[in-house]
Structure 1
Amino acid sequence: MSSNIARLLLAFFLATITLALPTPSTTSKQNSVPLNGLPDPGALSLKYITLGVGTQNYSCSAAGAIPTSIGAVADLYDASMLMSPSKLSLIPSFAAVAYSTHTWFDLPTLGHHWFSAAGVPTFDLEGKGFLSAKKVSGVPAPSGCIASSIDWLFLEDDGRGVSRNVQAVYRVETAGGNPPATCSKAGVVKVPYAAEYWFYG
């Protein structure tokens, strides 16, 4: 399937289900990033919108223990078409549909997200940007999101001097990713999730 056909089908599909989905987002005046209590981007400019699809990872010391977060791994797909004013209505349902249908809509890969050995959230946009980040703020996923969705976050450059072309990122419109309340056994638990990552510079 060609990329153009896939994107047309995506737009049609999302347009037909948007009315049936909750729309928890409240947006800022700057580039319409959904905030829901996160800090406004201020003078920063929107560079990319990506669809992140991967796993939130947790460590379990034993059966019955409370899972401990050990980071995440995700592929980042270029969803910058959502930057168009005519597509903003698709924002609340984009990650939720990807999570529910296990499809990335034939979007091109823009980069990858992982945590370093030191626990630093890292985003590599494959030559277009690199962000070594620190968490600035987080809020619970709004009630309209899919159940057990991870928090929405605002992260910015951690000041180590390795970031390039991007200074901050929002993780919003999350779907899934929260661990079970307790571990069923010792080991690593990988919980699927999807989210939008909005990169600013």
Structure 2
Amino acid sequence: MALALPAPSTTSVQNTVPLNGLPAPGALNLKYITLGVGTQNYSCSAAGVVPVAIGAVADLYDASLLLSPAKSSLIPSFAAVAYSTHTWFGLPTLGHHWFSASGVPTFDLETRGFLSAKKVANVPAPTGSISPSVDWLFLQDDGRGVSKNLKAVYRVETAGGVASATCSSAGVIKVPYAAEYWFYG
């Protein structure tokens, strides 16, 4: 069976992060590019109801050398390959992503940086993405004063992560996903 991968994104700014309609990073400087692999999590109060998004958990693997802006167009969708093949290419772990108890998207790149974020913009995953895939996002520091060395992150080239239209039972649904996370400072 052949592996079908989406085409690379064509919308970018100065050959940097693929934007697909998200705001440009402006004067921010690219710090890290990571492969995020984890689950998008949803809550179901009962069977037959629409799942409610409650956050995500992901390991972040350092893909900066493989996905530098100059090389980003060489790989159709790094996240789609990881999602489809369940491999992280031997990349070293750079950090972790989760949502705080109060629902704040949080990124800990260990000694390299920390970002407590708020969503600024989202766009649907482009046509040709692995279906169904979670939206692409642009998140910025939430202003609480806890972020360190990081000011913004893009979640792009998403693969998977969307729950079914209705819940089959009550509880938490964990849907696997992968994405590229581009961190700016």
Match of 2:98 in 1: 114
Q: Is the alpha carbon distance of 1:151 and 1:84 closer, same or farther for their aligned partners in structure 2, counting shifts above 3 Å?
A: closer
SS at match of 1:99: helix
Structure 1 residues 26-76: Cα deviation after superposition (integer angstroms, max 9, x where no partner): 333345110000000011010000000000000000000100001000000
CA distance in 2, matches of 1:58, 1:131: 23
Letter in 1 for 2:30: L
C-alpha displacement at 1:24, in angstroms? Answer: 4.8
Select which of 83, 91, 95 maps to 2:68.
83
Structure 1 residues 116-166: Cα deviation after superposition (integer angstroms, max 9, x where no partner): 000000000011000000000000000110001000000000000000001
CA distance in 1, matches of 2:153, 2:46: 34
Q: Is the alpha carbon distance of 1:72 and 1:149 closer, same or farther for their aligned partners in structure 2, counting shifts above 3 Å?
A: same
CA distance in 2, matches of 1:84, 1:152: 18
Please tell me whether residue 198 in structure 1 is matched to residue 182 in structure 2: yes
SS at match of 1:127: helix
Q: Would the aligned equivalents of 2:39 and 2:56 in 1 still touch at CA under 8 Å?
A: yes
SS at match of 1:173: strand
Structure 1 residues 155-182: Cα deviation after superposition (integer angstroms, max 9, x where no partner): 0000000000010000000000000000
CA distance in 2, matches of 1:21, 1:66: 29
CA distance in 1, matches of 2:76, 2:84: 14
Please tell me whether residue 49 in structure 1 is matched to residue 30 in structure 2: no
Unpaired runs of at least 5, structure 2:
none
Match of 1:61 in 2: 45
What is the TM-score with the length of structure 2 in the denominator? 0.94
CA distance in 2, matches of 1:194, 1:58: 16
CA distance in 2, matches of 1:144, 1:108: 29
C-alpha displacement at 1:89, in angstroms? Answer: 2.3
Q: Would the aligned equivalents of 2:12 and 2:20 in 1 still touch at CA under 8 Å?
A: no
What is the TM-score with the length of structure 1 in the denominator? 0.87
Q: Is the alpha carbon distance of 1:160 and 1:31 closer, same or farther for their aligned partners in structure 2, counting shifts above 3 Å?
A: farther
Match of 2:107 in 1: 123
